Amino acid sequence: MTQPLRGIRVLDFSTLLPGPMAGLILAEAGAEVIKIERPSYGEEMRLYEPRFGDTSANFALLNRGKKSLALDLKDVATIAKLRRLIVDSHVILEQFRPGVMARLGLGYDDVRKINPAIVYCSITGYGQTGPKANTAAHDLNYIGDTGLLALSAGADGAPVPPPGLIADIGGGSLPAVVNILLALRGAEKSGEGTHLDIAMCDNVLAWQYWAIATIEAEGRTPVPGRELVTGGSPRYRIYRTADERFAAIAALEQKFWDNLCDLLDLPADLRDDSRDPEATAADVARIIASKPAAHWREAFAARDVCCSIVQDMAEAMADPHFRARGLFGRRVVDGRHSLTAVPVPVVPQFRDPGRDAGYPHLGDANNLLDGGEDG
């Protein structure tokens, strides 16, 4: 199948994670993604550890299959050349604070004069408008402002930073891709592009639909560690095994709970977990703690219970299921060396069948500014 974004050119002014991840997804679906970077040392992510080739492994993973323009955006002559490239582009992706691109002469109002069909996507933490629009922040601040972090309580009751960058990817990258695709479809029909205001905080709120329902329908604020999906139910908790591993118990529906109760041989008076949830949870914990993880992995696999053993990242990458799905079959290459590529959420039929691709070396596509073809 022809890649759906083949022929689409994206000029990507973004750095670090939200924009680059969005650009990676578009590139994997066939778009030509050209990173705009400072000429001295490129974007900051290139400097991060661990190292891979002449860059950082993080940069290589997030920028697989892209190209690079090394430009001084404060140089008038450079901006003039870049404008000529914009005429033949379809998407601009940027991640500066509001107003920065306009001061460079590359704001949406400037760009649409030369390319009315351009889809101009701005990713920020708080959006283009509002009291916090120019506030500096990172993922932890965004999930803190939107109530999500308050629901992530550790053993001492204090919020625990999640290991995944929820706002950056779930509130920034993925909504950006969705809205870019919607806008491209609209531009095909009308010939008119649009300015997309992607605010990570706005989009994190959708992750907490159940918390909003609790506030609106019950008139109370959800309590950390006490709600259905935050550890308040014996059916949805993490239990320690005999060998200090962990079992993820998610037997929410009654049929799964009944199957789990049978598997654990839970006493009859504790199976109705609405009577005394903590007593039920304590007995489940006792039983799970009596056997090692290998025992429970095999037992869970043999029953329909929605339970599993928690895997670390290395175990996940070696998991036969994910291997069978081909999730880790693609590589980022640099000469004789390679890294496992990030498994982006693009189905196989929309991706290039080639499994290996490089990352952009700084300025490797600068000849495009002079009208040349990228080599």
Long-range contacts at 11-14 (CB < 8 A, ≥ 24 apart): 11/36, 11/82, 11/85, 11/86, 11/89, 11/91, 11/92, 11/93, 12/36, 12/66, 12/93, 13/92, 13/93, 13/94, 13/95, 13/96, 13/101, 13/106, 14/93, 14/94, 14/95, 14/123
Chain center to CA of 323: 21
Among all chains, which residue has been given the structure tokens 């994190």?
A: 204
Q: Which of 138, 195, 295, 361 is catalytic?
A: 138
Helix (H, G, I), strand (E, B) or coil at 144: helix
Q: Which of 168, 197, 202, 364 is catalytic?
A: 168
Long-range contacts at 223-227 (CB < 8 A, ≥ 24 apart): 224/150, 224/151, 224/152, 224/153, 224/157, 224/159, 225/153, 225/157, 227/151
CA 206 to each of CA 171, 202, 213, 250: distance values in angstroms, whole numbers, following the listed order:
9, 8, 11, 22
Eight-class DSSP state of 159: B
CA 98 to each of CA 37, 191, 233: distance values in angstroms, whole numbers, following the listed order:
19, 26, 43
Buried b (16+ CB within 10 A) or exposed e, 104-135: bebbbeebbeebebbbbbbbbbbbbeeebbee
Among all chains, which residue has been given the structure tokens 């190209």?
A: 67
Helix (H, G, I), strand (E, B) or coil at 70: strand
Eight-class DSSP state of 6: T
Does the annotation count 168 as an active-site position?
yes
Q: Which of 48, 101, 65 is nearest to 357 (CA)?
A: 65
Does the annotation count 138 as an active-site position?
yes
Inter-helix orientation angle 174-190/18-28, to 10°: 60
Q: What are phi and psi of 6, to 5 degrees?
A: -60, 130
Return d(Cα 129, Cα 108) in angstroms, integer: 15
Q: Which residues are catalytic?
A: 138, 168
